[in-house]
């Protein structure tokens, strides 16, 4: 399934301007009066006033603890909380009972990696001789937990390498995905390279050998139309703050039967059924995995974010970002001394582009761009193995979203063109 190519009509310039009007922060100035150009949405997206208002309205009208009271506010809060679960679950294409609320996607990946090393996971439990397969393009959050899971369980960690153009090298996939494979964990889209991976194909291969597929969907759910059930994955994670929502909330979306088989990882209040001084029984999923006070206001805000994205249309957002990806790649190709890291064309990639500037450290690149009002990300982006694969320690990353204009990209490219001259590298 190719998700970056769609028949949907891209957002027109006037529509993008109307969207920008909903984002108060995009109208501020920085750097001695320069208009802000925000190209760091891959790290954290900005929030529209509709999302900010939804959280404010909840906090000022129905704020209370959920599932714990019989008074009016408690009932309203619980209804809003569970309505948000239903709406967000539908947005990513899973049953309501298959969505677990967590603080972020990282917590969801750690939960899965830990639960699968517990003998109580039964047939899903990792054991010596099993293999966990990841890829070379993973964010640390989808690599380090599986390294730890392998160390705890005695399983072996293997990985799918990258080609020189930043795609998954599937030439040895028949050997890598075998009867020994117990878990296949990989990103839907790279947070560095922008590469979109062939999820349905890999999930089908994993399913054929009885392996679980765990998808890091943090960089796809905000940007592409995603239906996790149709893609055939067993579990996936995503973060609210990358999809117009607040920080402090993320989702673990999984097949309900998988959640039913897994033991709890975090214990305490809310997730228990019966507690004595000697033993405890636990609630059914998803509440089994939601110990303590949940992110109620954040869930309400995330629902508003999902409504906003749905009203715009994910197919149209994807089509617009395909345009932006090509615009950025074309612009970077015209700047002397710049090398794009990853796919050099816009096919099967998101509007996230990492690059290096010859003779200039990424942090210095970022400072020059910031002085021109352009916000980008610098560093290794929590993906050191990806950078090592391409022979660099760090990179500069520009990542666009539905509120990015052509003029934003033009200002970015223009400012980037001054960097080498500023440091005497021209």
Residues carrying an active site annotation: 382
Q: Is 274 exposed, middle or buried (0-12, 13-18, 19+ CB in 10 A)?
A: exposed
8, two tokens: 């949907």
Q: How far apart are CA 28 and CA 34, in angstroms?
A: 9
Q: How far apart are CA 243 and CA 383, in angstroms?
A: 20
C-alpha triplet 414, 419, 420: angle, nearest 5° = 125
Three-state DSSP class for 162? strand
Closest listed residue to residue 149, CA positions, set 182, 171, 117, 180: 117
Give phi and psi for 135, each to the nearest 5: -130, 165
Contact 154, 128 (CB under 8 A): yes
Contact 163, 313 (CB under 8 A): no
Helix or strand run (H / E) with residue 374: strand 374-375
Contact 67, 324 (CB under 8 A): no
C-alpha triplet 403, 406, 409: angle, nearest 5° = 95
Q: How far apart are CA 332 and CA 309, in angstroms?
A: 29
Q: How far apart are CA 396 and CA 353, in angstroms?
A: 8
């Amino acid at each position: 399934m190719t998700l970056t190519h769609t028949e949907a009509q891209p957002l027109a310039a006037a529509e993008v301007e109307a969207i920008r009007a909903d984002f108060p922060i995009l109208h501020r100035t920085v750097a001695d009066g320069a208009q802000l150009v925000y190209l760091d949405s891959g790290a954290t997206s900005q929030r529209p006033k509709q999302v900010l208002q939804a959280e404010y309205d909840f906090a000022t009208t129905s704020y209370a603890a959920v599932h714990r009271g019989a008074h009016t506010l408690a009932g309203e809060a619980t209804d809003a909380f569970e309505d948000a679960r239903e709406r967000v679950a539908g947005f990513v294409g899973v049953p309501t009972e298959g969505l677990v609320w967590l603080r972020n996607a990282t917590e969801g990946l750690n939960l899965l990696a830990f639960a699968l090393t517990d003998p109580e996971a039964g047939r899903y439990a990792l054991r010596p001789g099993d293999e966990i397969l990841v890829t070379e393009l993973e964010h640390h959050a989808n690599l380090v937990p599986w390294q730890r899971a392998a160390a705890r369980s005695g399983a072996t960690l293997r990985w799918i390498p990258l080609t020189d153009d930043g795609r998954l090298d599937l030439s040895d996939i028949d050997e890598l995905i075998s009867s020994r494979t117990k878990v296949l964990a990989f990103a839907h889209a790279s947070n560095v390279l922008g590469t979109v991976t062939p999820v349905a194909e890999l999930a089908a291969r994993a399913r054929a050998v009885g392996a679980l597929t765990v998808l890091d969907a943090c960089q796809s759910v905000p940007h592409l139309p995603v239906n996790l059930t149709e893609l055939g994955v067993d579990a996936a994670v995503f973060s609210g703050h990358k999809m117009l929502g607040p920080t402090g909330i993320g989702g673990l979306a999984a097949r309900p039967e998988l959640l039913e088989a897994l033991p709890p990882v975090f214990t305490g209040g809310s997730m228990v059924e019966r507690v004595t001084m000697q033993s405890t029984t636990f609630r059914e999923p998803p509440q089994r995995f939601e110990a303590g006070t949940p992110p109620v206001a954040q869930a309400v805000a995330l629902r508003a974010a999902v409504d906003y994205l749905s009203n715009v249309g994910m197919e149209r957002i994807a089509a617009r970002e395909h345009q932006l990806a090509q615009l950025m790649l074309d612009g970077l190709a015209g700047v002397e001394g710049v090398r794009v890291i990853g796919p050099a064309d816009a096919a099967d990639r998101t509007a996230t582009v990492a690059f290096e500037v010859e003779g200039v450290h990424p942090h210095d690149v970022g400072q020059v761009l910031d002085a021109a009002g352009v916000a980008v990300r610098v560093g290794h982006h929590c993906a050191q193995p990806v950078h090592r694969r391409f022979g660099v320690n760090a990179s500069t990353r520009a990542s666009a979203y539905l509120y990015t204009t052509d003029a934003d990209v033009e200002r970015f490219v223009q400012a980037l063109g001054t960097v080498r001259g500023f440091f005497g590298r021209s």
